[in-house]
Structure 1
Amino acid sequence: MNIVSSAVSLTVADPVASSRFFSDHLGFRESLVGERFIGLGRDDGAVDLVLVERDLERWRPGQGLAEVIVVFAVTGLAAEYERLRAEGAAITIPLRREPWGELLMQLTDPNGVKIQLVEWISPVTG
């Protein structure tokens, strides 16, 4: 098998709102727009995103939808955190350092999609 690209499909109530959030705050761009979906991409190694409008006739509460967190490993997270804060992005977990060597923060888009940004750093020793 030779995988040439990857995508995460997210079912949301308002694909346009999520697209705007990912474009404004995380540098994605719309690569494909359909009647009930929007494809997003970047020019770097980030996974593509497909935002699909939830079909309320087919979706029923209690169907056991799994929680999804989209995770991007980045560099310069402290500066990104300050930029996102200044832009008014919905930060749900402020920047923090984990003892195993991870700097992380989490955002939530207008449809409740959780985005976690991480930077791998030296673990705390001692």
Structure 2
Amino acid sequence: MVHVLGSRVLLSPTDPQRSRDFYGHALGLAVYREFGTGDERGTVYFLGGGFLELSGRSDTPSSPAVRLWLQVPDVQAAHDELLERGVEVLRAPRKEPWGLIEMWIADPDGVRIAVVEVPEDHPLRHRP
């Protein structure tokens, strides 16, 4: 078994500054570290128990198969805050048949992001 010490999701945006503005300002993710200089610099954000790294530049957006899942304590509060920051909400919060409360947004390159609240009575909060 590989002994994993840390992990990151890596995205190469089509416009690095636009994506830094989205993740750093619109979503309000805190910066873990930056490397390089200028518009092409890499930025790593805290992402709960992991990290999100924006580095390099791509001529094409990420595959639609790439999605992010962000758990928040209150999805309605996140919805209201993101709307105030000008983030387009693709789907407003609603309780899914599996019991999670989910909202969907997308980054500037179309990477879909689920913003999820796990209700207190949901099995994900409790061990069997």
The TM-score, its normalising length taken from structure 2, stands at 0.75
CA distance in 1, matches of 2:116, 2:15: 26
Equivalent residues of 1:30, 1:38 under 8 A apart? no
Q: After superposition, what is the alpha-carbon deviation per residue over 1:93-124, rounded to whole angstroms, capped at 9, x for unaligned?
A: 2111102111011111222222211111246x
Partner of 2:10: 9
Unaligned 5+ runs, structure 1: none
Instruction: Give RMSD over aligned pairs.
Output: 2.6
Equivalent residues of 2:26, 2:82 under 8 A apart? yes
Corresponding pairs, count = 117
The TM-score, its normalising length taken from structure 1, stands at 0.76
CA distance in 1, matches of 2:32, 2:21: 9
Unaligned 5+ runs, structure 2: 123-128
Which structure carries more strand by proportion? 1
Map residues 101-112 of structure 1 onto 2, 5 A cutoff: 101-112=99-110
CA distance in 2, matches of 1:115, 1:43: 12
* CA drift at 1:66: 5.3
CA distance in 2, matches of 1:45, 1:90: 25
Instruction: Return the match for 2:44 from 25, 40, 46.
Output: 40
